[in-house]
Structure 1
Amino acid sequence: MSKLNGNERWKTKMLMTEHVEQYEQKQDNEVRKMITVDERTMVRDLILLPYIDTMVSKSLKEIEHSGNILKRAYLMAGQAIQRRIIQDTYQLQKELKQRNIRMLADEQEEFLVYYKIFCRGYQERFGLTRDVMRTEISLRLTKYTADLGTVLKDLQK
């Protein structure tokens, strides 16, 4: 039996408001350290952009060696898309660096590619399936092509 048994002061637990505020503030800081959905999307895009750049480069090499009469126009369009990919990659790297987020390739399995994300003192494992990667790459290439088409239409006006 301890000395505190029978002592009525220990039956109710009271917290001072300043302690409650400190606890809530600490919890808010912990949540802010975790990676957000927007940041996760930026990481995903930064993972996919080198794959897209490689695909565009291969396509440009194929066009260079073809006998197509519109070869020059296709090359110019492909180079414009490639410049945009490089710009987006640079912007994402800069933004993630400002937010103190780094990533490293971790491992590859049959259908999954894993990356380690270091975000404000926390480490997380991020995985993408090959099907998701294919779909996202296709969507991004479609977006880049549509943006280029919009620019060309604006030049005609």
Structure 2
Amino acid sequence: MSKLDGNERWKSKMLLTEHQEQYENRNKHPQTGRVTTEELTMIRDAIMFPYMLTMCEKSLQDLRISTHLFKQIHEQFIQIIMKDISRDLSNTNRELRQRNIKIFSDETHDGIIYHRYICRGYEDRFGIVREVLRSEISVRFTKYSMRILSQLKREEQSI
């Protein structure tokens, strides 16, 4: 039997909305500084997306110089992909901010790209091999391209 049993004041517990949100957020995200697997994936994406945007920008510059027959279509295609990448990058950065994760500048040693990050007070380095990054970028470009092509096919079928 607790000291509060029989005390009528404790029957109705009132909780402010912001306190409820804080309580729920505390249970959603671990308070320890260690990152989860999902958060490591977000860190990788936040590192990868700027490289992808740079690659797209370079492709656009090269395309503008060329005399390619379908130059305008390719430019539009690349710009759509860049818009999708930018949207995903901003969503990833927003989620990292909400989880109190900060990523800092990169350095490269022996073909490994390192980024320092701070996650809820815990500091560590995230390293990714350049070849792994290249293959992941290739997979992502394929996904973005397939998404655009599937939208075009749906629009074509509806006509």
The two structures share one fold, judged by TM-score above 0.5: yes
Assess if the C-alpha contact under 8 Å between 2:31 and 2:120 holds in 1: no
For residues 76-155 of structure 1, the aligned pairs below 5 Å read 76-155=76-155
Where in structure 1 do 4 or more consecutive aligned residues deviate above 4 Å? 29-32
Please give the alpha-carbon distance, in whole angstroms, between the structure 1 residues aligned to 2:83 and 2:132.
24
Instruction: Render the CA deviation track for 1:61-114: whole Å, top value 9, x for unaligned.
Output: 111111112111111111000000110110000000000000112421121111
Q: 1:57 aligns to what?
A: 57
Instruction: Render the CA deviation track for 1:90-139: whole Å, top value 9, x for unaligned.
Output: 00000000000001124211211111110011111110111111111111
CA 1:45–1:95: 2 relative to 1, 3 Å: same
1:44 equivalent to 2:59? Answer no
Unaligned runs of 5+ in 2: 1-28
Instruction: State the one-letter code of the partner of 1:45.
Output: D
Q: CA deviation at 1:32?
A: 4.5
For residues 70-81 of structure 1, the aligned pairs below 5 Å read 70-81=70-81
Q: Identity across aligned pairs (percent)?
A: 37
Q: 2:4 aligns to what?
A: none
Q: Secondary structure at the match of 1:38?
A: helix
Instruction: Render the CA deviation track for 1:20-59: whole Å, top value 9, x for unaligned.
Output: xxxxxxxxx9775420000100100110111111111111
Paired residue total: 129
Q: 1:4 aligns to what?
A: none
Please give the alpha-carbon distance, in whole angstroms, between the structure 2 residues aligned to 1:46 and 1:91.
10
Please give the alpha-carbon distance, in whole angstroms, between the structure 2 residues aligned to 1:153 and 1:118.
43
Q: Secondary structure at the match of 1:50?
A: helix
CA 1:30–1:149: 2 relative to 1, 3 Å: closer
Unaligned runs of 5+ in 1: 1-28
Q: 1:15 aligns to what?
A: none
* Largest Rg, 1 or 2: 1
Instruction: State the one-letter code of the partner of 2:76.
Output: M
Please give the alpha-carbon distance, in whole angstroms, between the structure 2 residues aligned to 1:124 and 1:94.
20
Please give the alpha-carbon distance, in whole angstroms, between the structure 2 residues aligned to 1:84 and 1:36.
25
- What's the C-alpha RMSD, in Å, of the aligned pairs? 1.6
Q: CA deviation at 1:149?
A: 0.8
For residues 20-35 of structure 1, the aligned pairs below 5 Å read 32-35=32-35
